[in-house]
Structure 1
Amino acid sequence: MKVLIAIPPEKFRDEELLIPVKKFQEAGVTYELASTHTGVVMGVLGKKAKVNRTFEDVLLSGVSDYYALMIVGGPGTQVHLWNNRHLIELIQIFNAKEKVVAGIDNAPIVIAKAGILKKKIATVAPGQTVREMMKEDAIIQNKPVVYKDKIVTASGFEAAEEFAAVLIKYEKSDPEFVPTSSKAGFAF
């Protein structure tokens, strides 16, 4: 199973792609990049990435190869992804199929606009993004990474390593499950 990485066609936040990709490679997790179009895309700090799939292409071929959808943030995410109907549909499909949906920096706004963060805890980059999330009825927590119900949000590139680690854990097991010693299933 792979991670589908959604990336804007320009001005993505370099560390929010490169750090998770490095962590995925170290853990043996495979991934694919998708965007609004194929080809080379450039980050705000000058790093380049090659995109081989479009969101529409993934919608047409299905999501059965993926266990997670990870959305990279950056200025290009606000411009190109926040209201992208194909990406919003992908988010809804991943969520309906109980797959992981994750966003970092300002990318959690796309997840909120897809309607799956209503009355759910999340985090996002500070600033106007908080108001955007609240418009969609998300409950904002001031933490670097928040994950619950297979939805993972991170506040920015500083949290990229922890964000990637949570995504990797979902591939291997369920990081939300906490075993207890009580026979009744409750911790006392």
Structure 2
Amino acid sequence: MRVAMPIVSDFELLEMTATLDILRRASINVDTISLENTQVVYASNKVGVIVDKKIEDINLKDYDSIILTGGKGTIKYFEYKDLLSNIVEFNKDKKLVSAICQAPTILANLGILKEKLATVFPNFNKELIENNVIIDKVGVVKDSNIITATSVNYSIEFGLEIVEYLLGIEKRKEIEKQIIRY
């Protein structure tokens, strides 16, 4: 099981790191990937993160799932046509596609959320509605092979939902116990 987590500058640090932490606790092989082909990518709060891989060094088709984080840099995902076409293919192949905060707008604009249940940071509800997405005003939503989350506040829950999808409810419960969730 290999999961791709592509990031661009001005991403939301906590969405990335909390989700990554939960998945790695579950022993899921996650690669953080710089779309900008730099070894360090800076979050919106100017904290630099050393990535595992650069996009030029990998083939996204080798992955089983893809996760998009939100933040001010979300719009930059549209600059990476190969990423976008791979997201469409992942969805077509029923591979897990996940997005948090503003990032569900990427999925909506690609048409893969059409008539599906999803959530997004409230400032972007209109964009989802314009793309015929059914908005659920909760923290985390799973519809078929797509998981979306509202905001940084739901990063841990987002990660746990991904763990459950990929490895089952028992693994999710095991990870919840590690982080002392009641």
* Cα distance in 1 between the residues matched to 2:47 and 2:10: 10
Q: Is the 8 A contact 1:67 1:171 kept in 2?
A: no
- Per the alignment, residue 103 of structure 1 pairs with 99
Where has structure 1 moved over 4 Å in runs of 4 or more? none
* Cα distance in 1 between the residues matched to 2:115 and 2:166: 26
RMSD: 1.9
Q: Is the 8 A contact 2:41 2:50 kept in 1?
A: yes
Q: Percent identity?
A: 28
| TM-score (ref. length: structure 1) | 0.82
Please tell me whether residue 115 in structure 1 is matched to residue 111 in structure 2: yes
Q: For residues 42-61 of structure 1, what are the structure 2 equivalents within 5 Å? A: 42-51=42-51, 52-54=53-55, 58=58, 61=59
- Per the alignment, residue 71 of structure 1 pairs with 68
Distance 1:3 1:62, change over 3 A: closer
Q: 1:168, CA displacement in angstroms?
A: 1.1
Q: Is the 8 A contact 1:82 1:107 kept in 2?
A: no
**Partner SS for 1:41:** strand
* Cα distance in 1 between the residues matched to 2:82 and 2:130: 21
Q: Is the 8 A contact 1:70 1:102 kept in 2?
A: yes
- State the AA in 2 paired with 1:71: L
More helix by share: 2
Q: 1:170, CA displacement in angstroms?
A: 1.8
**Partner SS for 2:61:** coil
Q: Is the 8 A contact 1:88 1:113 kept in 2?
A: no
Q: For residues 130-169 of structure 1, what are the structure 2 equivalents within 5 Å? A: 130-169=125-164
| TM-score (ref. length: structure 2) | 0.85
Q: 1:97, CA displacement in angstroms?
A: 1.5
Q: 1:68, CA displacement in angstroms?
A: 1.3
Q: 1:162, CA displacement in angstroms?
A: 0.5
Structure 2, unaligned stretches of length 5 or more? 171-182
Structure showing greater Rg = 1
Please tell me whether residue 94 in structure 1 is matched to residue 95 in structure 2: no
* Cα distance in 2 between the residues matched to 1:174 and 1:121: 21
- Per the alignment, residue 124 of structure 1 pairs with 120
- Per the alignment, residue 22 of structure 1 pairs with 21
- State the AA in 1 paired with 2:117: I
Equivalent residues, number = 168
* Cα distance in 2 between the residues matched to 1:57 and 1:135: 36
- State the AA in 1 paired with 2:19: P
Distance 1:174 1:92, change over 3 A: farther
